[in-house]
Chains A and B, each alone.
Chain A
Amino acid sequence: MAASFAEIRDQAVERWRSLTDSQTPWIRVGTALCGQAAGAEMVADAILEQLEKQGLSARVSRVGCLGLCFAEPLVDVLIPGQPRVVYGNVGLDQVPELVASHIGGGQPLADLVLGCLGDEVGDDLPDLQQHPMKVREQRIALRNAGHIDPLDIYQYIASGGYEALNRALTELTPAEVLEEVNASGLRGRGGAAFPAGTKWRFLAGSNAPDKYILCNCEEGDPGAFNDKGILESDPGTVVEGIILAGYATGANHGYIFIRHGHDGPIDRARAAVDQAYDLGLLGEDILGTDFSFDLEVALTGDSYVSGEETALMEAIEGSRAMPRYRPPFPAQVGVFGKPTNINNVKTMAYVPEIIARGGEWYAGIGHEKSTGTAILCLSGTLNYTGMVELPMGINLTEVLQEIAGGVPGGRKLSFIQTGGPLGGVLSAEAADLLLDFDIFRAAGAILGSGGIIAADEDTCVVDLTRVLIAFCQYESCGKCFPCRMGMSHMLEVLERICRLEGTSDDLALMRNIGENMQAGSLCGHGQLGFNPVASALRYFPDQFEAHIIEKRCPTGRCQVPHFSPRLSRR
């Protein structure tokens, strides 16, 4: 007989208390992709080594991402009864002193402290919640990120996890769960911003016996790492969201789809699924009810287009990730020929909180038809790069200049690229926009998955456009020729413009190719692939003209020998 949810929760709370209230210090090291890239795994190992060497005892957990990626490696020390102290940019050589001073002597190493988290702030130490990257944050999907051990389901449960599922299964009908999601106004975070409730209703309307829920973590967009970041930091909220989606739509099978090689997100997602099975939160008769749901992690090879919903189904079935013709739509004929609903990781990650707090609560956050928060990945030439969750409706210029701390070295912002390689390019002046799906779209950009790449005045917009199209060429799946040929052709044109060998016909030629791709391509890759060029032309016509007519690159950055790896997948 499986334990009841109340028993599981009591156990989880007890374990959490022993972590936070016992006399043993708790050290958390951020080891998401950003942490790894900064050497956090080695720092965590060094901490363990020093604890042993100095004869000190402490628990060390490898956690996810607090969002302050620019300051990685982050080490977070909690000694019960004292403020929770977060260190930034911790080098291997600083570990012995840090351990000796803080764990051994109870004295934080002030020079290295980034700030304190929580209600208590130490004397003379900054309050991390007042940091520009933190002060305007409202964390819903990221509520546990960086705080809990992603490999321990009990920590998720102790933080309120699976309350929503328990409540839904015992008190709400599937239709009521669907209604909450509908009322929340939640829109898909995978790019198209389609209302999740509407999509769920399509699937709920089918009375086929086998239905599927897919969660998309392909995340091939360069500049976006929030899906991987969520799975690495708090896979529980994604798993719970998927089970709730299954309950609301009457589906009994699910897949989390991740690109092979991203071991952090894969291992943590797998652990969250396995542990949920162990506790009776997945599988047959979940929590003693008659609802059953099976969930599995499926992997794909390197292919950006495998993130497109129908290509993803092909990849799950084990084939080439080439998009299918529509209709029939996935809600009628999806993976393995069964009705299917597909959502992005972020979309799913919101669902437990929406069910726990109600759709109306969520709808009250945000701006007009863009409810809730935007989970942004800030990269490029910014002082504070990382991942932030902000209520929709904040001005993008404010995000760039204040939250991200502006451009380093006193240089000026020139342009930003949003929404991945199929998104758009905006001039710094045009970035005076509110975070809102519809406002972004009207400006020729896409808020989409939340990747925001900033470029200062020393970078060339024509050159970046070339790189974006090089990416699109490399990733075209090759199924339809307007995209396969169009991307290659457009790349050739952009390369010659960057070599200052463009001709006066080239802009018209690119527009012509772009229109053909838009009209004749099967999937969004070809249909939207002209977006970066169109938006760059819209905001920076003078830059293109300088390259083509004056034969000069105003920033000098196109003179660098450039390369654009080619790939043909025919």
Chain B
Amino acid sequence: MDGLKQRIEKAVHCQPQATVTILSSLLAVEDELGYISREAVEEVASFNRATINDVWAVVSFYPNFRTVPPCEHKVEVCWGPSCHLVGAMPVVASVLEAAGLEDEGDTPDGRLTVRYNTCLGACALAPVMSVDHHLVGRVTPEKGNALVSRVLNSQEERAG
């Protein structure tokens, strides 16, 4: 596998679309690495002939950007109004419990990130969550808990 630096360069330099900007470069890095490293900020700045400060302004604005390496898995839970009305709160609570977290964030062992989402776009099948980018609709607290446990166990199996 390429080193981190090569992966960043490739993501930034080989964007397929015609309009290349600070934001598009950052999104390309996020797709490649799952986070925006310090080196990535520098690369995006020099590629776009911008300052480090210009790039940080963008990174810090959009909450999808992380600045530390991603966890192995990511679970998102929607708290938008459609989901709220049909039981998103108990799902949030059970997902957090299964992950052993008090609030959104990463588990200390780096295995799982839990994020709140304002709308995952499948409101007709609320409550909605996503597991490693796959949407799951009509979740119950039990199902949310089971999905998180399954994700955590699958990693354990691989490691063991």
Contact = CB atoms under 8 A, between A and B. Distances in A.
A33 interface: yes
Contacts of A221: 119
A562 B63 contact: no
Nearest to B26: A301
Interface in B9-52: 17-19, 21-27, 30, 48
15 contacts: A41-B134, A221-B119, A224-B123, A299-B24, A301-B58, A316-B21, A377-B123, A379-B82, A379-B123, A379-B124, A385-B124, A417-B81, A451-B123, A455-B85, A569-B60
Contact of B137 (A37, A459, A475, A563): A37
B92 interface: yes
B58 A318 contact: yes
B122 A320 contact: no
B27 A33 contact: no
Given A34-B137, A301-B23, A318-B58, A567 B63 contact: yes
A520 interface: no
Given A320-B58, A386-B124, A464-B81, A296 B119 contact: no
B34 to A, nearest CB: 12
Contacts of B133: 261, 263
Contact of B18 (A296, A301, A471, A477): A296
B124 A301 contact: no
Contacts of B104: 565
A262 B64 CA distance: 13
Contacts of A565: 79, 104, 116
Contacts of B48: 318
A-B complex: 7 closest residue pairs judged by Cβ atoms: A318-B21, A301-B62, A222-B80, A37-B137, A69-B124, A222-B119, A37-B122
Interface of B: 17-19, 21-27, 30, 48, 57-58, 60-65, 78-86, 89-90, 92-93, 103-104, 116, 118-126, 128, 133-138
Given A223-B123, A301-B64, A320-B58, A562 B89 contact: yes
A510 to B, nearest CB: 19
A219 B121 CA distance: 9
Given A34-B137, A563-B92, A296 B19 contact: yes
A298 interface: yes
Contact of B61 (A222, A301, A562): A301
B21 A385 contact: no
A453 B21 contact: no
Nearest to A317: B21
Contacts of A477: 61
A320 B65 CA distance: 13
Nearest to B93: A561
B70 to A, nearest CB: 14
Given A33-B122, A298-B19, A316-B19, 7 more contacts: A222-B80, A301-B23, A301-B26, A319-B22, A379-B126, A467-B81, A565-B116
B21 A467 contact: no
A220 interface: yes
B118 A301 contact: no
Given A223-B82, A315-B23, A565-B104, A303 B62 contact: yes
A563 B92 CA distance: 10
B125 A380 contact: no
Contacts of B19: 255, 296, 298, 316
A440 B120 CA distance: 27
Given A220-B118, A296-B19, A298-B24, A453 B124 contact: no
A568 to B, nearest CB: 10
A373 interface: no
B81 A471 contact: yes
Contacts of A299: 23-24, 27
Nearest to B31: A260
A207 B155 CA distance: 60
- Best-buried of A37, A319, A381, A569 by chain B (most CB within 10 Å): A37
Given A315-B23, A320-B57, A563-B92, A302 B63 contact: yes
B118 A471 contact: yes
B119 A33 contact: no
Nearest to B55: A318
A261 B64 contact: yes
Contacts of B78: 222
A345 B82 CA distance: 22
Given A381-B85, A381-B86, A459-B85, A319 B23 contact: yes
A441 B50 CA distance: 44
B61 A303 contact: yes
B81 A223 contact: yes
A521 interface: no
